[in-house]
Structure formats: C-alpha cells, structure tokens
C-alpha cells in the first residue's frame, strides 16, 4: 500500500474519529446513541485506581456513566489514560452489584453460621452497634476495630479517625496502606521528620536518569512510565535503569536492566554509598550543612510472633564511622550477596555520583513490602543526601504510591493506629491535645497508646482480643499474607466481621454483615496522590439500590454508638449550595457534610507545612499540591525559592527535623537476610504482585470484559530454564506450597515477566488462586509492612 | 383509595422483581463473586496481524483492543513494531487495514502543537492502553 501523505493521513484519521463518534459499542446502555461530545454531561474526577492520580473527564447521560476520557487540563496525565482508566465507565455496573444490606441469619436471627440474607439498614446498623458495645464491655474499646484503605476519600478516612480515636476511644484503626506505603512513611519520617515526597511529576521533565528500585512502572504506574518514556525518547540523553528481581516491561525502554537477588537491594544501596565515598563523589558542602549520620538497632527480627514490639535505639555517629560501616560493602562483597557485577555497581555509582546527572529514584512495593522496608527507604534517601541530589528540579528520591489516596487519606489524615492528622501521633501528649481541641473533646479523650497495626489486628481477631472488625474499600480476606490463619480467625465464634463493599468478594464470604456501598463518582470525594496533590470530585450519578457512601455509614454507626455529636456542624455555616448534587451524608445531615469535615480537618495542618486550602477551591481546580500557602501550591519542598517554609538564606532546610537543626538523617542500615529463604524442601522464591489490567484483588477490573479478557487468570510464571529443568510445559497444572499453605494453578512460560532463575511470580488478583494462603506474614519491624515479595515455596505438577 | 392500594401493590411487586434479579436463585452470597473453584489458563489468539478483524470498542473514545497476537512484538527505545503497521494504517493483508493511530497521539502534551517526529512519547507504550483479548471461554465477568 502506498504510504499516505500527512494530509491524507490526517483526513483519514478525522474520518475514523467521526465514525467512532457516531455510535457506542458494547456499551451496556444501548439507549444512548448520541454524540458523546455534545450529548453527555462531562465533569472532572481523579481516576479511582493507582496513586498516580490521573484526572479523567466523566461523561454521564440518564444517570449512568457512559464514557471517560483523559483530562487535557491536568498536568498529571495531560489527556492520556491507561487501560484501567478507560475501563472506569464499567466498574460500577457488574451484574452482581451488592444493593441491599445483608446479615448472616438462621431461623430469622443473626447467626454466625447462618446464610447472608437481605436486611434493612436499621437492622444492620443496630446489630453492628449491639456487637460493638458488647465487644467494648468484654474487652475494652481496643476490641472494636476498623480496616479501611487508600481508596477511602479523605473525609471518609477523617470521619473514621474522628469516630474511632475521639469517639470510641479506640486506636484500633488501620488501613491496607499499611501493606502498601508504611515503609515509605517510616522512611521519610526517620530521614526527614516529615512524610511524603519533596518533588512532583513536573520533575520528570528535568531528570536525566530514572532509577527504578524494584518497581515495574510500565504495568503498575503506566502513565508515569509514559512520562519517563517521553523523556527518554526526546533526545535529551536521559536514561532509565531498571533494578529488579525480574525482567519486566519496564526494562524495554531501559538503558540497562540489572537483576538482583531478593533482599540484596540493601547491599546494593550500601555498595553505591561506599563507591561514592571512595571516589570522592559525595557533596561535602551539602552534607556539612544539611545532614547528620546515625545508626540504629540491628538484627531487628521479622514480626513473626504475635504481639512483637520494636523499639529503635538511634545514636548519632560521625561521618568516619558511617564511612567505615559502608566500606564493608565492596563491589566484590555486593556481587556475592546480590549477583550484581562490580561493573554494574560502578555504573550505578557513576550515575549517582556524576554532579551533572540529575537523578530520580523511584520505588513502590519492591522496596516497601520488605522485611527491611524502612531501612531500604533510608538507604535510597541516603544516596540523594550523600550527593546533594535532592529538592531541586529533576533530583529527588521519589516514592510512588499504590492507591489513589494512600497519601491523601491514610498518610495525611493518619488513619493508622499510631497516627493523627498532619504527621502527628497518639503517643505525643501535645499532638493529642491539638486533636482534642479541634474536635472539641475533653483532655485525655484520645488513648495515648497505639493498639493493633494491620497484621496484629487480624492476629488479635484470631486470638479473640479483637471482637469487632469492620472492613471497607479493601478486601482483607484475600489480601493478608498467611491468609489461612486469618480467614479461620474471622470465622471463629465471637468474632463479628462487617464488610462494606460493592461486589461479593472473598471478604464478604466470611462477613457477618455486608453493607452495599457507593463508589467513586456515586458520591462526592477527595483523593491525594503521590505528588501531594489533593483532588476533589462531585457526585455525578446515584449509587444503585440501597447502597450508601462510607461516609454515611460511618456517621450512622457513630450515632448508634452515642457519638453522633462528632458529626454535628452548624448548618448555616455549611449550607448546601443551590443546584449542588448533595451526597447521602449531606442529605441526611441537612448540611454540606463534606465541606464541614474538610474545613475542620485542614485546621490540623495549617501553619506547619501541611497547609490545605478552603474547600471550594479544590472543586475549581485539577487538584493542588500541599502545602498550599496564600493560595499557592508547592512544587518542591525543603528548597529555598520553592517552599515557603524554608527561611531566607538557608538554601535547603529539612524543617521536619527541627530538633536536629533542620538536618536530614543519613542512616547506616546493614544487609540482613530475610526470615525465610529457599532450601532443599522449598527451593524457590515466591514473589507476588499485580498485573497492569487488574486493580488489587480484581473485584472491579475482573468485572470489566475488556480487562477480564486481557488477563483472565493468575498463573505461575517461571524462568524458562527452571521450567525446562523441572519438566514443566506451558499450561501444566502445578501446586505451589509453602510451610503455610498451597495453591493450584497453571504454569505460564514466556509471559510478560520473566523471573530470575529460582523464582516464581504469581499475581494475587484471582479469587481462584488464593496465593496469600502461601505467603508469609513477616513484616518490617519498624513500619510493620508485610513482605509479599519473598518466601520459600516448592512447586510440583498435579493432575 | 383503591388506586392507592394498586400503586402500593405495583411498587411492592416491582421491588420484588428488583430483588429477584439481584439475589435470585443461583446467587449465593456465601461464595466469593467470581470464584469458579478452578484455576484457569490464559490463552490468547495466535493469529498474526492481518489475519483478524477489528473488534468493537467499549465506547466511543475507548482505546481499541488488539485482535491479533502480540507475542514477539518489540517496543523499545529504537523499535516499535506496532507502529510499523499502525502509524499510518497500512493494508497488512488484502482487505485488512491496520487501525491508524489517531491525531490525538501526535499532539505535544505541553504545547498542544502537532509533533514533528511521530507519536508523542507519552503515547509510545501502545500496550498500556491497547490490550489483546484472550479466548472467551472461562473468563469471569461477574455475570451470574
């Protein structure tokens, strides 16, 4: 065929567009056959999947979502979306959507061994309150727990925190972000004294070297990966290095793929630090003014025992002591631990050490889901501090975020057992005082000790110390590692499990009560993404049947627990504007509940570098990056000229560490083995994770035909040499077993990832492949984040 | 009054129908929604480009799915096998014209101007939007 001229080409494309614009294909709502541009009502919202926080335009007609498109006005995604984003119009409309509350019943009454039957909201909420009160009587407030997620809106998380800590006087509030971002939080807190990255996505356009530390951005953060790709292709000389335990799609645009043995990233980072010092490539001027050195406890364990505790013992050390400690990580020793050649280590050190190369290090689950996750975060931060490559355009350590509001809701609101909003903690009497004052509560209301972090919470449920467990926007009974124990625990007598969700899941399967829940644009919402961007959306459609928002559910439960007062605000201050589609929570309250909660919540951060701006502004923008001071967002933190909190003349100021003269901490953290390594009986590493098409446990994305068909089932991916050695062909059915459990599934060879030899990769989205029955519930003792990336398994053919 | 009773009856009846549709026979809330009891295998069409027809889009503006095999197709910094045929919509076999890359993919995301050198970098990873479709049997979709 003769190549088309540019003009023909454009004309042809225009025709294609016209054709495609004239009809809706495979749309479940065949009644709509109009022109999407003119006949749909479009409004903006953040995507509800990953932490990238793309902005989408949502097209609505007849009370249904008909289409989405990338929002060209957003600097996050500039009009583009990934395949999951384009699937947003379908996630609400699975045919088995939950639409009525369900209670497990037998002979007309609640019975743990009964069947889920339809119930009224009043019956469901009354029963919840009865069971929660009974739990408090028997075991105290800590026995009443809630497990939310980074898919909560900010005000849902805030309402939960206020009810739990200020009302029920229970610190048993956690989120699945504990499994996701806790090591990043602990890393930022211990290095900088403040959580969250210093840069934004605008830095991508200034960066010369993108270093991925165990992050498969091509699948997990496609839009961010495309921003990197854009830079790599733009003849700027920019490069990408993929440091990974598996060959992935992210390697396709990489200058170099460097495969390392599981856990050995600790040795690699120390090896780079050593080379930087040996070659005189550290930034002494920066270090002398802005950093200090510390070491902490070693041999810190893995949290495998119930009720394990960890207490850090930090001491300041001299640079020479630090130098001596990392000097043990010679290229030869690093090669021995990691399998990375001395030449490759020199290559990496060369990138970090060259003052003319701007470096951004990226990480997510590979580094965070790690029994030394906090250490690994510290070590990456170290490399940027040692070289002074931080807090300037294109130079940052950059933790990517898993969930759409892991930052906005979990980290900023502080929906963890030990935290309060704006980086405050329950263990600090001044912080409790601030919270009690804002909440109008008597001094001493908030309990001063954390109770159960996420893993300990389900262990307590199993033991019977937690009697009431309310899960929402998460799927804990598919997600927890060492799952057999915790599913069995949930099913024990005397444990009351409430699950708020949109579809039947592996968690509703073990629930005593199931609450049908509104999702995404079925309610008014707010998310905070991985560049500190707070983004609001309005309710665009109604939730089906009797579904209610999490916010409504939390407040109604609060009323029945005698804490309705926590959610009473002057209606005159928060009138619902004319023409505004008010949420169920606002309608029930008779005032603009979301706005009332927001205006109260933002008091926590004002004046100390967590500033958020008044409510209405967020509905007018594509989000704003905090701290928002005098109406202006902050693009780079800790840097004079960018961050209003840095004093004049200071250059850099890590003001989260006021007690150490605004200096960031460079930690010595050694390599230590993981708790379980392959041996004769369990000879392979198991690594688990996601695939691009499916979000977490797949409850939404597997109900979208295009996504389900793009990646229907979880399979076991092996290195071809391992498959040959073990005699497996593509499609063979095998059993993967660990000391904790087993799962049967099919072998896939030559899929989109190729694990290193001696490793098997299994994604966890599939309800028929409950891989978390196999995984190990070991966690980082500092962050309490589970390591889903490493345990030892056997693999054998089954009939 | 009589009319009122009729209205109540109709409302009750329609509610019943709604409930029946939502949790009728065969819906077991005790089971996980999508579990089938058996692990599955992903089998994708082996047909080469040019041997298949265009599949329908999910909605106007949704990215087209890939009707052919993508095994062995390379997308890296120097090669993009997808663009070989799709950049300008080549006729890859008689009667089979590859879907051409639309104008949106040639717009500089910062300036809004048309790019001078092909598809913009942010659209270069074709597979992040355009995904192949496995054989239909056994795909769970939430339908009961």
Task: Give tens-digit pLDDT for A697-716.
Answer: 999 999 998 999 999 999 99
Whether B58 shows a pLDDT value over 60: the answer reads yes
Name the residue in chain B with its Cα closest to that of A67: B59
Res B60: pLDDT: 84
The answer to whether the CB of A269 falls within 8 A of the CB of A382 is: yes
Chain A contact present for B46, CB below 8 A: no
- Beta-carbon separation of B124 and A230 below 8 A: yes
Chain A contact present for B24, CB below 8 A: no
Tell me if residue A207 is catalytic: no
- Beta-carbon separation of B62 and A96 below 8 A: no
- Beta-carbon separation of B58 and A253 below 8 A: no
- Beta-carbon separation of A504 and B71 below 8 A: no
Whether B42 shows a pLDDT value over 80: the answer reads yes
Res A760: pLDDT: 98
Q: Please report the DSSP string for A13-52 in residue order.
A: HHHHHHHHHT---S-S-TT--S-HHHHSEEEEEE-SSSTT
Name the residue in chain B with its Cα closest to that of A93: B142
CB atoms within 10 A of CB B103: 15
Q: Which pairs count as long-range contacts for A555-560, CB under 8 Å and 24+ apart, including other chains?
A: A555/A159, A555/A585, A555/A588, A555/A589, A555/A593, A556/A121, A556/A125, A556/A588, A557/A125, A557/A128, A557/A129, A557/A132, A557/A163, A558/A159, A558/A163, A558/A167, A560/A125, A560/A126, A560/A128, A560/A129
Whether B25 shows a pLDDT value over 90: the answer reads no
Res B94: pLDDT: 87
Greater model confidence, A622 or A39: A622
The answer to whether the CB of A248 falls within 8 A of the CB of A351 is: no
- Beta-carbon separation of A99 and B104 below 8 A: no
Q: Which residues of A touch B85 (CB under 8 A)?
A: none
Which range among A181-195, A577-591, B109-123 shows the weakest confidence by mean pLDDT? B109-123
- Beta-carbon separation of B59 and A27 below 8 A: yes
Over residues A634-668, the pLDDT tens digits come to 999 999 999 999 999 999 999 999 999 999 999 99
- Beta-carbon separation of B121 and A66 below 8 A: no
- Tokens (6 digits) for A591: 């005032």
Res A399: pLDDT: 98
Res B92: pLDDT: 86
Global pTM? 0.93
The answer to whether the CB of A692 falls within 8 A of the CB of A83 is: yes
Whether A255 shows a pLDDT value over 80: the answer reads yes
In a mutagenesis test of the A interface, which of B14, B15, B32, B134 is the best target, namely the one with the most A β-carbons within 10 Å? Answer: B32
Whether A173 shows a pLDDT value over 70: the answer reads yes
Say whether A260 sits in a helix, a strand or coil: coil
Whether A19 shows a pLDDT value over 50: the answer reads no
What lies within 8 Å, CB to CB, of B132 at 6+ separation is A710, B44, B45, B65, B66, B67, B68, B69, B70
CB atoms within 10 A of CB A51: 27
The answer to whether the CB of A34 falls within 8 A of the CB of A516 is: no
Which range among A16-25, A329-338, A580-589, A669-678 shows the weakest confidence by mean pLDDT? A16-25
* Rg of chain B on CA atoms, in Å: 24
Tell me if residue A759 is catalytic: no
Question: Shortest CB distance from B40 goes to which of A20, A706, A713?
Answer: A713
The answer to whether the CB of A784 falls within 8 A of the CB of A453 is: yes
To the nearest whole Å, the CA of A758 is away from the closest chain B CA by: 22
In a mutagenesis test of the B interface, which of A10, A96, A111, A251 is the best target, namely the one with the most B β-carbons within 10 Å? Answer: A96
Q: What percent of chain A has pLDDT over 70?
A: 96
To the nearest whole Å, the CA of B1 is away from the closest chain A CA by: 28
User: Cα–Cα distance between A704 and A88 in angstroms, integer?
Assistant: 9
Question: Shortest CB distance from B142 goes to which of A67, A231, A503?
Answer: A503
User: Cα–Cα distance between A47 and A58 in angstroms, integer?
Assistant: 10
Of A438, A621, A553, the C-alpha closest to A128 is A553
Res A168: pLDDT: 98
- Tokens (6 digits) for A148: 């939310």
Chain B (71-110) residues lying within 8 Å, Cβ to Cβ, of chain A: 71, 74-77, 88-91, 99-104, 107, 109-110
The mean pLDDT of chain A is 94
To the nearest whole Å, the CA of A377 is away from the closest chain B CA by: 28
What lies within 8 Å, CB to CB, of A161 at 6+ separation is A173, A413, A414, A415, A420, A421
User: What is the ipTM metric for this complex?
Assistant: 0.91
To the nearest whole Å, the CA of B9 is away from the closest chain A CA by: 19
Of A533, A423, A527, the C-alpha closest to A200 is A533
Which range among A2-6, A576-580, A656-660, B121-125 shows the weakest confidence by mean pLDDT? A2-6
What lies within 8 Å, CB to CB, of A189 at 6+ separation is A195, A423, A656
User: Cα–Cα distance between A786 and A764 in angstroms, integer?
Assistant: 14
What lies within 8 Å, CB to CB, of A746 at 6+ separation is A713, A715, A716, A731, A732, A733, A734, B39, B40, B41
Tell me if residue A402 is catalytic: yes
Whether B22 shows a pLDDT value over 80: the answer reads no
Res B109: pLDDT: 82
The answer to whether the CB of A64 falls within 8 A of the CB of A29 is: yes
Over residues A89-99, the pLDDT tens digits come to 999 999 899 99
Question: Shortest CB distance from B109 goes to which of A21, A79, A706?
Answer: A79
User: Cα–Cα distance between A664 and A120 in angstroms, integer?
Assistant: 54
Q: How confident is the model at residue A18 (pLDDT cuts 50, 70, 90)?
A: very low
Over residues B12-21, the pLDDT tens digits come to 444 444 333 3
Res B140: pLDDT: 57
A63 burial level (CB within 10 Å; 0-12, 13-18, 19+): exposed
Over residues A326-384, the pLDDT tens digits come to 999 999 999 999 999 999 999 999 999 999 999 999 999 999 999 999 999 999 999 99
Name the residue in chain A with its Cα closest to that of B40: A713
The answer to whether the CB of B89 falls within 8 A of the CB of B50 is: no
The answer to whether the CB of A707 falls within 8 A of the CB of A694 is: yes
Question: Shortest CB distance from B19 goes to which of A82, A87, A118?
Answer: A118
What lies within 8 Å, CB to CB, of A360 at 6+ separation is A199, A203, A204, A207, A209, A210, A211, A394, A395, A396, A397, A398
In a mutagenesis test of the B interface, which of A9, A116, A710, A773 is the best target, namely the one with the most B β-carbons within 10 Å? Answer: A710
Res B33: pLDDT: 84
Res A31: pLDDT: 45
User: Cα–Cα distance between A535 and A497 in angstroms, integer?
Assistant: 32
- Beta-carbon separation of A89 and B103 below 8 A: no
- Ordered strands of the A533-537 beta sheet: A525-528, A533-537, A624-625
Chain A contact present for B122, CB below 8 A: yes
Say whether B6 sits in a helix, a strand or coil: helix
- Beta-carbon separation of A79 and B131 below 8 A: no
Q: What percent of chain A has pLDDT over 90?
A: 94
- A·B CB contacts under 8 A: 237
Res B141: pLDDT: 53
Over residues A455-465, the pLDDT tens digits come to 999 999 999 99
**What are the backbone dihedrals phi and psi of residue A53, each rounded to the nearest 5 degrees, phi first?**
80, 40
Tell me if residue A84 is catalytic: yes
- Beta-carbon separation of B42 and A711 below 8 A: yes
Question: Shortest CB distance from A708 goes to which of B36, B140, B144?
Answer: B140
Name the residue in chain B with its Cα closest to that of A221: B128
- Beta-carbon separation of B125 and A226 below 8 A: yes
- Ordered strands of the A209-213 beta sheet: A256-259, A239-244, A209-213, A359-363, A396-399
Res B117: pLDDT: 77
**Maximal C-alpha separation, chain B:** 78
- Beta-carbon separation of B59 and A67 below 8 A: yes
Question: Shortest CB distance from B77 goes to which of A81, A253, A706?
Answer: A253
Of A713, A703, A525, the C-alpha closest to A97 is A703
Name the residue in chain A with its Cα closest to that of B108: A78
Greater model confidence, B56 or A411: A411
**DSSP for residue B101:** P
In a mutagenesis test of the A interface, which of B22, B24, B35, B61 is the best target, namely the one with the most A β-carbons within 10 Å? Answer: B61
Pairing of strands A664-668, A624-625: unpaired
Res B7: pLDDT: 53
To the nearest whole Å, the CA of A542 is away from the closest chain B CA by: 16
- Tokens (6 digits) for B59: 């909605």
Over residues A270-283, the pLDDT tens digits come to 999 999 999 999 99
The answer to whether the CB of A427 falls within 8 A of the CB of A450 is: yes
Chain A contact present for B61, CB below 8 A: yes
Over residues A430-460, the pLDDT tens digits come to 999 999 999 999 999 999 999 999 999 999 9
Chain A contact present for B131, CB below 8 A: yes
Chain A contact present for B27, CB below 8 A: yes
Whether A22 shows a pLDDT value over 60: the answer reads no
User: Cα–Cα distance between A178 and A146 in angstroms, integer?
Assistant: 13
Greater model confidence, B104 or B11: B104
Question: Measured in whole angstroms, how far is the alpha carbon of residue A369 from the centre of its chain?
Answer: 11
CB atoms within 10 A of CB A4: 17
Q: How confident is the model at residue A632 (pLDDT cuts 50, 70, 90)?
A: very high
Res A5: pLDDT: 39
- Beta-carbon separation of B123 and A82 below 8 A: no
Question: Shortest CB distance from B122 goes to which of A226, A712, A750?
Answer: A226
User: Cα–Cα distance between A177 and A190 in angstroms, integer?
Assistant: 18
Res B110: pLDDT: 81
């Amino acid at each position: 065929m003769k190549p088309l001229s540019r003009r023909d080409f454009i004309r042809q494309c225009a025709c294609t567009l016209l054709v495609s614009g004239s009809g809706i294909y495979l749309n479940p709502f065949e009644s709509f056959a109009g022109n999407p541009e003119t006949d749909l009502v479009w409004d903006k919202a953040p995507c509800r999947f990953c932490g990238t926080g793309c902005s989408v335009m949502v097209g609505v007609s007849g009370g249904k979502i008909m289409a989405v498109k990338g929002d060209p006005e957003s600097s996050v995604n500039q009009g583009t979306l990934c395949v999951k984003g384009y699937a947003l119009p379908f996630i609400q409309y699975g045919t088995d959507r939950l639409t009525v509350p369900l209670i497990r019943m037998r002979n007309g009454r609640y019975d743990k061994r009964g069947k889920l039957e339809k119930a009224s909201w009043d019956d469901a909420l009354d029963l919840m309150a009865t069971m929660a009160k009974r739990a408090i009587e028997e075991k105290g407030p800590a026995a009443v727990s809630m497990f939310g997620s980074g898919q909560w809106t900010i005000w849902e998380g805030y309402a939960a925190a206020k009810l739990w800590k200020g009302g029920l006087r229970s610190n048993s509030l956690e989120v699945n972000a504990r499994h996701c971002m806790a090591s990043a939080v602990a890393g930022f807190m211990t290095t900088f004294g403040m959580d969250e990255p210093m840069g934004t996505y605008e830095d991508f356009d200034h960066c010369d070297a993108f270093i991925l530390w165990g992050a498969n951005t091509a699948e997990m953060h496609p839009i961010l990966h495309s921003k990197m790709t854009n830079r790599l292709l733009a003849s700027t000389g920019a490069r990408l290095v993929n440091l990974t335990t598996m060959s992935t799609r992210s390697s396709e645009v990489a200058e170099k793929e460097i495969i390392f043995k599981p856990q050995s990233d600790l040795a690699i980072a120390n090896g780079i630090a050593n080379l930087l010092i040996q070659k005189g490539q550290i930034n002494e001027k920066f270090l002398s003014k802005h950093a200090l050195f510390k070491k902490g406890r070693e041999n810190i364990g893995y949290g495998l025992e119930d009720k394990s505790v960890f207490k850090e013992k930090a001491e300041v050390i001299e640079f020479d002591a630090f130098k001596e400690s990392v000097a043990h990580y010679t290229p030869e020793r690093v090669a021995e631990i990691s399998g990375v050649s001395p030449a490759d280590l020199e290559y990496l050190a060369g990138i970090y050490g060259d003052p003319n190369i701007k470096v951004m290090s990226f990480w997510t689950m590979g580094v965070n889901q790690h029994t030394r996750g906090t250490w690994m975060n510290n070590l990456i931060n170290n490399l940027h501090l040692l070289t002074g490559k931080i807090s300037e355009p294109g130079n940052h350590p950059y933790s990517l975020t898993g969930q759409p509001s892991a930052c906005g809701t979990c980290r900023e609101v502080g929906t963890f057992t030990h935290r309060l909003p704006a980086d405050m903690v329950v263990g600090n009497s001044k912080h409790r005082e601030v919270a009690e004052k804002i909440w109008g509560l008597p001094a001493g209301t908030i309990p001063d000790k954390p109770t159960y972090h996420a893993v300990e919470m389900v262990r307590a449920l199993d033991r019977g110390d937690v009697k009431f467990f309310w899960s929402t926007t998460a799927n804990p009974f598919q997600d927890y590692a060492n799952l057999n124990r915790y599913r069995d625990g949930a099913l024990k007598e005397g444990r009351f499990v409430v699950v708020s969700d949109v579809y039947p899941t592996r968690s509703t399967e073990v629930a005593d009560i199931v609450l049908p829940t509104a999702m995404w644009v079925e309610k008014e919402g707010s998310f905070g993404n991985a560049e500190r961007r707070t983004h609001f959306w309005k309710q665009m459609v109604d939730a089906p049947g009797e579904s209610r928002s999490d916010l409504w559910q939390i407040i109604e439960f609060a009323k029945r627990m005698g804490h309705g007062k926590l959610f009473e605000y002057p209606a005159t201050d928060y009138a619902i504007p004319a023409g505004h589609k008010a949420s169920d929570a606002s309608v029930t309250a008779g005032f603009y509940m979301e706005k009332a909660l927001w205006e109260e919540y933002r008091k926590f951060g004002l004046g100390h570098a967590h500033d958020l701006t008044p409510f209405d502004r967020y509905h007018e923008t594509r989000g704003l990056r905090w701290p928002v001071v005098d109406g202006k967002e902050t693009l780079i933190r800790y840097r004079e000229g960018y961050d209003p909190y840095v004093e004049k003349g200071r250059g850099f100021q890590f003001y989260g560490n006021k007690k150490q003269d605004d200096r960031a901490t460079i930690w010595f953290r050694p390599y230590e083995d993981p708790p379980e390594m392959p041996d004769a009986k369990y000879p392979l590493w198991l690594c688990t994770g996601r695939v691009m098409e499916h979000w977490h446990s797949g409850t939404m994305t597997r109900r979208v035909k295009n996504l389900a068909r793009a990646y229907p089932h979880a399979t076991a991916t092996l290195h071809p040499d391992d498959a040959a050695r073990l005699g497996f062909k593509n499609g063979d059915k095998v059993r993967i077993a660990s000391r904790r459990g087993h799962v049967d599934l099919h072998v896939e060879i030559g899929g989109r990832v190729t694990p290193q030899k001696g490793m098997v990769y299994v994604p966890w989205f599939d309800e028929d492949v409950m891989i978390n029955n196999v995984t190990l519930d070991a966690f980082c003792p500092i962050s309490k984040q589970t390591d889903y990336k490493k345990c030892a398994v056997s693999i054998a053919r089954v009939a | 009054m009589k009319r009122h009773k009729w209205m109540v009856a109709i409302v009750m009846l329609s509610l019943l129908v709604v409930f029946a549709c939502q949790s009728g026979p065969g819906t077991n809330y005790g089971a996980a929604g999508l579990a089938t009891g058996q692990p599955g295998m992903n089998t994708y069409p082996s047909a080469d480009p040019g041997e298949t027809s265009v599949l329908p889009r999910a909605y106007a503006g949704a990215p087209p799915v890939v009707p052919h095999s993508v095994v062995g197709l390379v997308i890296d910094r120097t090669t993009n096998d997808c663009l070989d045929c799709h950049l300008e919509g080549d006729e890859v076999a008689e009667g089979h014209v590859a879907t051409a890359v639309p104008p949106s993919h040639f717009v500089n995301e910062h300036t809004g101007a048309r790019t001078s050198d092909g598809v913009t970098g942010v659209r270069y990873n074709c597979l992040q939007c355009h995904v192949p479709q496995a054989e239909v049997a056994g795909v769970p979709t939430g339908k009961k």
